[in-house]
Amino acid sequence: MSDRITHLDTVRGVAVLGILIMNSISFGLGNVAVFDISAVGTHTALDWALAIFGEVFADQKFMGLFSLLFGASLLLFLERVTDRTAHPVRLSMWRNLLLFFIGLLHSLLWLGDILCVYALCAPVLLMVRKARATTLILLGIIVFSFAFFTPLIFAGQFDDAGLRAVWGGDDSHPQAGAFLLEVLCDVFSRALGMMLMGMGLYRGGWLTRSIEMITLQRCLYAIGLGALLSAAGVVWVCLQEFDARAVLVGNLPNTLATLPMTLGYLGVLIWWDGRAEGVLVRRIRAVGRMALTNYLGQTVLCLYLAYLIPDWWITRSTIAIAILAIWTLQLLFSEAWLRRFRMGPVEWLWRCATYRRWSPLTR
């Protein structure tokens, strides 16, 4: 298993670039704009179009891709270190403990960090690492389904004013604790469910084989079905005039849509990687090989831009311009870096700490 599976780099690259679409809204407009697209930053028709596009095609989906690959990568790591150490599981646990500390440091800059969640899911993944592919996929679907029921369970504990206060950052509000619990249940269910499915897809060989045209068509149908579900949720919330509890419950179609859309994106990207040659796919692969560096780098860049740009100028349209600028920078930087170095700088530090020895960085 010494050769890289390049299409996984491509999928990972698209995932980390796509995650910026939603994370940048939190950086630029605050969490209230993530939950309610009508709250702030939607002043023009273009703003509304970008908000709806993000809800339908980006929200949850790219995190789903990232989570799928995290589960697959855990099995891939165990396979690659089995011949190097007598305790591959122990090494994996140590590696993910380091990831947890990286996430803690990242959370000092931004509370939206996802690395801590991934690291905390790793022990569960290791416990079921020997299960069959179908068992892992079924278990993943079951765990993911909890995210669908969580808003229904918690919706009765909130009112419009309370939710908006919490979204606005009022941590002292009486409903803040219940909302935090709802968010944690939702995030862990979606992340862990997708990771288990990623493990199952890798073990079954679906992540290492090429995508044929008939499978591509099914992937496109899955994306279309998911887009219709997500769009239906947005329409329903609009009809409810963006009542906060309606926003919470109206996210259910989007959560349900995440599963087919994420799998559809996965198949389309694997198919594209197998047939595309040129600058774009090469640079996206480079972004994927440096996914951790680029994920953390996005936070630094967004915080810097949020500091430079006046609040009155920040809308979804200006955020879209910033996203394009950051994408361009990371596509150019990642390929240029990997021409000279073996891996990204954060990946290198993580690798050195994992094996507790210095690894060569330059080519």
Residue 60 · residue 148 · CB < 8 Å: no
CA 302, CA 308: separation in Å to the nearest integer? 10
Residue 159 in any domain: the answer is no
CA 228, CA 237: separation in Å to the nearest integer? 14
- pTM of the full predicted structure? 0.95
- pLDDT of the residue at 155: 80
The letter for the amino acid at 332 is L
Residues forming beta bridges with residue 362, ordered by sequence position: 341
- pLDDT of the residue at 2: 43
* Total number of domains constituting the chain: 1
Residue 355 to residues 10, 95, 240, 346, 349, Cα–Cα distance (Å): 26, 9, 54, 14, 10
Profile the chain (363 residues) by mean pLDDT over runs of 10 residues: 76 98 95 92 96 96 97 96 90 98 97 96 97 98 94 85 88 91 95 98 91 89 97 95 90 95 96 90 97 98 93 94 98 98 98 95 91
Structural domain including 257 reads: 6-139+192-355
Residue 148 in any domain: the answer is no
Residue 187 in any domain: the answer is no
Residue 145 in any domain: the answer is no
CA 318, CA 266: separation in Å to the nearest integer? 29
Residue 122 · residue 187 · CB < 8 Å: no
Residue 65 in any domain: the answer is yes
CA 2, CA 29: separation in Å to the nearest integer? 44
Residue 272 in any domain: the answer is yes
Residue 164 to residues 237, 256, 340, Cα–Cα distance (Å): 15, 24, 49
Residue 54 in any domain: the answer is yes
Residues forming beta bridges with residue 239, ordered by sequence position: none
- pLDDT of the residue at 3: 62
The three-state secondary structure class of 362 is: strand
- pLDDT of the residue at 1: 38
The alpha-carbon radius of gyration of the chain (Å, integer) is 20
Residue 154 in any domain: the answer is no
The three-state secondary structure class of 44 is: coil
List all residues 6 or more positions away from 305 whose beta carbon is below 8 Å from its beta carbon.
Answer: 27, 28, 322
